[in-house]
């Protein structure tokens, strides 16, 4: 079912609470990234497996005991340029940026933003945490 706009997608994803399944997203020479029902649906419906590749290669290796969860946000501007930012959340002194990836083009709805959590090798929607 095609989405009319990003607002429909965000509303749809609010329905994901918890996840019964984990799906492997494994690239050669990288640790295994596991997707929840919500993040797998995001990748499929938005054609965004490229986003999962970026998470697996650039953000997953950053997980450590100190930063056991990474808060990830992708923001798409009106020209479909995008920025993906991963932070450690807010540990009292404000969020520390762990990694930033700028994209000249992202095939996601313009003027949209999506949030994810990465913990213990699992990428999830905030409502699935």
**pLDDT tens profile 104-114:** 999 999 999 99
110 lies in some domain: yes
pLDDT of residue 105: 96
Instruction: Give the range of the structural domain holding residue 37, as residue numbers without chain letter.
Output: 32-122
Strand order across the beta sheet in which 122-124 lies? 23-25, 33-35, 122-124, 112-119, 69-76, 82-87, 97-103
The per-residue pLDDT for range 113-122, each reduced to its tens digit, is: 999 999 999 9
For residues 39 and 65, which has the higher predicted lDDT (pLDDT)?
39
CB 13 within 8 A of CB 125: yes
pTM of the model: 0.85
Total domains, the chain: 1
Reported in sequence order, the residue ranges of 1-129 that DSSP labels E, i.e. its strands, are 23-25, 33-35, 69-76, 82-87, 97-103, 112-119, 122-124
Binning the chain into helix, strand and coil, the percentages to the nearest 5 are: 25, 30, 45
User: Tell me, what's the pLDDT at 26?
Assistant: 85
State the pLDDT at residue 21: 80
Res 97: pLDDT: 93
- Is 54 a domain residue? yes
pLDDT tens-digit profile of 7-64?
455 436 666 767 778 888 888 888 899 999 999 999 998 899 999 999 999 999 998 7
In a domain, 11, yes or no: no
């Amino acid at each position: 079912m095609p989405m009319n706009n990003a607002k429909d997608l965000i509303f749809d994803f609010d329905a994901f609470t918890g996840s019964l399944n984990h799906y492997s997203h494994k690239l050669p020479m990288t640790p295994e990234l596991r997707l929840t029902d919500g993040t797998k649906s995001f990748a499929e419906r938005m054609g965004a497996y490229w986003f999962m590749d970026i998470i697996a290669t650039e953000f997953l290796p950053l997980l450590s005991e100190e930063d056991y969860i990474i808060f990830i946000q992708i923001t798409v501007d009106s020209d479909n340029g995008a920025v993906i930012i991963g932070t450690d959340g807010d540990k009292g002194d404000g969020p520390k940026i762990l990694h930033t990836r700028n994209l000249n083009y992202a095939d996601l709805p313009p003027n949209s933003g999506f949030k994810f959590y990465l913990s213990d090798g699992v990428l999830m929607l905030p409502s699935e945490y």
